[in-house]
Amino acid sequence: MAFALPVWLAVQEELLQQEEADCGTSSCFDSLDDEALFDMFHLTRPCIAFIVDAVRLRMKKHATKRPVHSVDTMVMVALNYYAHGMCSTAVLQRLGLDHVNYPMNIVSKVSGVIAGMSDQFISFPLCAEARSSLASKMEKSCGIPGVLGVLAPAHFKIRVSPYERQTFKSFLNTQGYTSVVSQMIFDSDGNIMSVEKCTVGGTCEQEMWDSSLKGREMEEDVHGPFWVIGGKGYRQSKHVLTPLLSPTSDSEFRFNEAHAKIYEVIRTTLGTMKRRFKCLLQLGFAEQGSLSKKSNIIKSCCVLHNIAKKFSVAPPPVAGKIEPFNPVKQPLVPAEIHPEAQKARQELIEANFSDVSSSQD
């Protein structure tokens, strides 16, 4: 459910027309075999070709002047940076680039373009049929009905100079390292349906949700009577379904187990993303006014993650630690949970996780 089928087909049709117009033109990717492509970019040839065409089409529509380098050259630099967290010497030499800072200007340009494609490749279900279908698939996965997705803060490390720790202390998160954090919503297959609110790592989850576009839409019933699964850092509401902090009955324990099972999709998906796009392991130094640049890189990797899943591109093998869950960042003044929200969660538990309902499954 990364993006609706009609959107995907429309993009494909437009790209096919573009391919016909560009038929016969060579690409800097052509001289690399499939193994080298994956080693350098952690993507396959068909996937890379689609990305290059999509970026070319976007730039043709929105660019105000002709770029200095060809689109495939710029995309090669950016994809190499995303995959390894740096632009490799082999790629730069192949393209005739050697200026230390120049490649990052290219990465910044391409990241802005790909991030702008999020309206095509990152989408929340907008029609009733799509929402019902998604909720049905989610229920089969964890047993909880009426759920559209899994809500989570995604932290990405950044460096801070020892001389500027006080200046950037708001970037310090509950794990004890400096980061930026984005609010994301995933479906049960690990597709990204929403990404927004890139902010400092010390921001609490509930504050992000309350001020986010998707949070306001959900709480105002724009998307109907559905839930998103949220962790302990979120307040139980009529649209955010959180675990019970102190379960007492078998049905409540069963609900918490189902909640934890589907919440695991966050760890799996973020781990996959950080293996494929190693730039997300370290986004460089914190700078005043640099959040938009960090946001564009994060959002670009989200777009490329969804495209890679559409092309069934396996990520690089697991190496190192499993993606951890960040300890909860609680607001300074805990808000009271509305009795109706608590009642709705309890009714869901009794209807779906009691002894009677469980024996019928």
The pLDDT assigned to 164 comes to: 87
Structure pTM? 0.89
Residues 6+ apart with CB under 8 A from 353: 143, 251, 252, 254, 255, 258
pLDDT tops 50 at residue 1? no
Could you give the CA distance from residue 151 to residue 165 in angstroms, rounded to a whole number?
30
For residue 143, what pLDDT band results from cuts at 50, 70 and 90? Answer: very high
Q: Residue range 22-36: average pLDDT?
A: 82
The pLDDT assigned to 101 comes to: 61
pLDDT tops 70 at residue 284? yes
Structure tokens at 59: 């730039």
For residue 361, what pLDDT band results from cuts at 50, 70 and 90? Answer: very low
Q: Residue range 42-63: average pLDDT?
A: 92
pLDDT tops 70 at residue 10? no
The pLDDT assigned to 326 comes to: 64
Question: Do 202 and 330 meet the contact criterion of CB atoms below 8 Å apart?
Answer: no
Give the domain ranges of the chain: 5-116, 128-289+310-354
The DSSP letter of residue 165 is: T
Residues 6+ apart with CB under 8 A from 267: 322, 323, 324, 325
For residue 311, what pLDDT band results from cuts at 50, 70 and 90? Answer: very high
For residue 359, what pLDDT band results from cuts at 50, 70 and 90? Answer: very low
What does the pLDDT look like over 247-256, one tens digit per residue?
999 999 999 9
The pLDDT assigned to 68 comes to: 78
The pLDDT assigned to 325 comes to: 64
Q: Residue range 43-57: average pLDDT?
A: 96
For residue 286, what pLDDT band results from cuts at 50, 70 and 90? Answer: confident
What does the pLDDT look like over 312-343, one tens digit per residue?
999 998 765 666 666 666 655 556 678 899 99
Average pLDDT, the chain: 87
What does the pLDDT look like over 80-131, one tens digit per residue?
999 999 999 889 988 888 766 678 899 999 999 999 999 999 999 989 999 9
Q: At which residue do the structure tokens 């016969």 appear? A: 24
pLDDT tops 90 at residue 27? no
What does the pLDDT look like over 215-232, one tens digit per residue?
999 999 999 999 999 999
Q: Residue range 59-81: average pLDDT?
A: 87
Question: Do 235 and 337 meet the contact criterion of CB atoms below 8 Å apart?
Answer: yes
pLDDT tops 90 at residue 358? no
Could you give the CA distance from residue 316 to residue 277 in angstroms, rounded to a whole number?
10
Structure tokens at 239: 């649209």
The pLDDT assigned to 39 comes to: 96
Q: Give the strands of the sheet with 147-157, arranged side by side.
A: 192-200, 179-186, 147-157, 227-229, 240-241
Q: Residue range 179-202: average pLDDT?
A: 94
Share of the chain above pLDDT 70, in %: 85
Share of the chain above pLDDT 90, in %: 69
CA 289 to chain centre: 22
